Structure 1
Amino acid sequence: MVAIVQKPAPAFAATAVVESAFKKISLSDYLGKWLVLFFYPLDHTFVCPSEILAFNDALPKFNEINTEVVAVSTDSEYSHLSWVNIPRKQGGLGSDLKLPLLADKSMRISRDYGVLVEEEGIALRGSFLIDPKGTLRQMSVNDLPVGRSVDETIRLIQAFQFHETHGEVCPVNWRPGSATIKPDPIAKLEYFSAVEALTNGHTNGHTNGLAETNGKKKRIANGDVEDMEVDGAKRVKTA
C-alpha cells in the first residue's frame, strides 16, 4: 500500500515504547481521532530528540484538538527504551516521555509511507496527518538535516478541522480567527475583494490597513484578512 492524500492511510501494527513499557499499537487504535504520524531517522542522534521532545511537550495542545501523536523509526523497541532511559540533559528523551515511539524493525511501515532510504535502512523526516476516519489528509517530507515545526503541524490540523466543521476553505497563512473563503464562485468574492481593498489601502498609505467591504471593516496583517469590530459588530482576530 502506498501513502496517497485523500486515500486510506497505510495500516500499521507494531511494538512501541509507551511510558517506558512495550505495547502493541496499530492505526486502528486511533480511529475517531486525528493522528500525527511522524518518522525520524535514528535514535541517539541530534535533530531527532529536539523534534520528539517538542512534540511530546506539546501533547496537551494536540489533545485539546482531538489529536494523538506517534513517532516512528526503524530502530528496535529496545533501542527506543534505552534512549528513553537517558536523561534529557544527556541527549536522551527522559523516562517521563509520553509520546509513543513505534519500532519499525521490518522497515515495512517506512516503506509503505514512502520515506524509507533503502540503502541506509532509515526513514526520512516524513509527517503524515490522518483524520478520524483513517484518511490521509496531508504529508510532507524533510531531508535529514532539518527538523519540523510543531506549531505548523497544529495549524494544519486546525485548518482541516475548521473546514470539516464550517465547510469554508482556508487560504494562505490561515490561522484560527483569520478570514476563510466560501467555496462558491460568487461568495468567494467577499474574501478576494477584501484582500484587494486592504492591499491597495496599505500600499497607498490609506486607512492604516483598514477598508470597508459589504458594511464590514476588515484589516490585512501578514497577508491575512481579519474581520474587525465596527460599532459592536463581530470581531475575528488572528492568533
Structure 2
Amino acid sequence: MSNNHLEGDAVITETEVKGGSLPLIGDKAPSFEATTTHGTIHLEDYKGSWLILFSHPADFTPVCTTEFIAFQEIYPQLRELNTELLGLSIDSVHSHIAWVRNVKEKFGVKLEFPIIADLNKDVASKFGMLMPEGNNTETSRAVFVIDADQVVRAIVYYPLSTGRNMDEMLRLIQALQTSDQHRVATPANWKPGDKVIVPPPTTQEEAEERSKDDTIECIDWYMCKKNI
C-alpha cells in the first residue's frame, strides 16, 4: 500500500455492499477492461499516473452536461499534475459519442477524455457506483481518486441534484500529492502555498525536539505547521 496514514487512521479492507463491491480508501482499485469513446481501455493503462474515475447518471442530462464541460476546463491543469480523467455511465458508446458531439456543437467544448460505456454495469458494480436505493439503470455522481500505484486515495459522492465542484477536485489532487511528496497533512481549506501540518510526534523525546525547531510553527505539541 503506497499511501501512509498520517493521523493514525486504520487500514480498511475491501467491503461488500449492496449494489457492488465497494473499494475503500487504501484498497487497490479493482481491475477492469472497458469499452470507451477512445476504444478499449484497462485500468492498468493508467499505472504511473493519477486518475479521477467519475460516474454520471446519464448522457444528455443538464447537470451532467455542465459537469463534463467543467471537467474538460480543468483537464489541462490536471494533466500538469500527472492526472487523467475517465468518465462513466450506463449508456452505450453510441450514446456517448452522440453526446460528445452535441456538447461540441452546442457549447463549443471538445471533451478530450474517454467515457466508459458500462452497459453491463461491470465497472459500476466493482466500484459501488450503483446506489442501493437508487435507479439501477443510473450511476451515482461518484468520484474515485486513484494514485499512480492504483490505490484508491479518495472517494466522494454527490446527490443527483448537485453538480460537482471542480476547484475541490483540483485541490484534492494537489493536497494528496503534497502529502505524499512532503510527508505532511493538509488542514481544512488548504490550498497550494498555505502552511501544511506536520504529523504529530509519537514520543515525548520527539515532542521536546520539535519545540526547538525554528522552521516549525507550533501552537501546541500536537498542532504544528510549516511552509514547504
The residue aligned with 1:114 is 128
The CA deviation at 1:90 is: 3.5
The residue aligned with 2:114 is 100
| 3-state DSSP of counterpart to 2:190 | coil
| 3-state DSSP of counterpart to 1:42 | coil
- What fraction of aligned residue pairs are identical, expressed as a percent? 34
> Is the 2:175–2:186 Cα contact (8 Å) retained in structure 1?
yes
| 3-state DSSP of counterpart to 2:143 | strand
Letter in 2 for 1:108: D
- Once the two structures are overlaid, the 10-residue window that deviates more, 156-165 or 179-188, is 179-188
The CA deviation at 1:226 is: 8.1
Report the TM-score when normalising by structure 1. Answer: 0.74
| 3-state DSSP of counterpart to 2:45 | helix
The CA deviation at 1:107 is: 0.8
The answer for unaligned runs of 5 or more in structure 1 is 195-212, 214-224, 228-235
1:41, 1:106 → 2: CA distance?
Answer: 15
The residue aligned with 2:98 is 82
Q: Do residues 9 (structure 1) and 29 (structure 2) align?
A: yes
| 3-state DSSP of counterpart to 1:98 | coil
> Is the 2:96–2:115 Cα contact (8 Å) retained in structure 1?
yes
Which of 124, 148, 166 is matched with 2:140 structurally?
Answer: 124
| 3-state DSSP of counterpart to 2:37 | strand
- The one of the two structures with greater contact order (alpha-carbon pairs below 8 A, sep at least 6) is 2
Q: In the TM superposition, what whole-angstrom CA distance separates every residue of 1:43-88 from its partner, at most 9, and x where no partner exists?
A: 0111001111111121110011000011110101010011122244
Letter in 1 for 2:25: V
The residue aligned with 2:219 is 193
The CA deviation at 1:184 is: 2.8
> Is the 1:177–1:226 Cα contact (8 Å) retained in structure 2?
no
Letter in 2 for 1:161: Q
The residue aligned with 1:161 is 177
Letter in 2 for 1:141: Y
Aligned pairs for 1:29-178 within 5 A: 29-88=45-104, 90=106, 96-117=110-131, 119-178=135-194
Determine which structure has more spread, i.e. the larger CA radius of gyration.
1
> Is the 2:185–2:198 Cα contact (8 Å) retained in structure 1?
yes
- Once the two structures are overlaid, the 10-residue window that deviates more, 58-67 or 82-91, is 82-91
1:40, 1:168 → 2: CA distance?
Answer: 33
The CA deviation at 1:191 is: 4.6
Q: Tell me how large the CA RMSD over aligned residues is.
A: 2.4
The answer for unaligned runs of 5 or more in structure 2 is 1-20, 202-206
Letter in 1 for 2:183: G
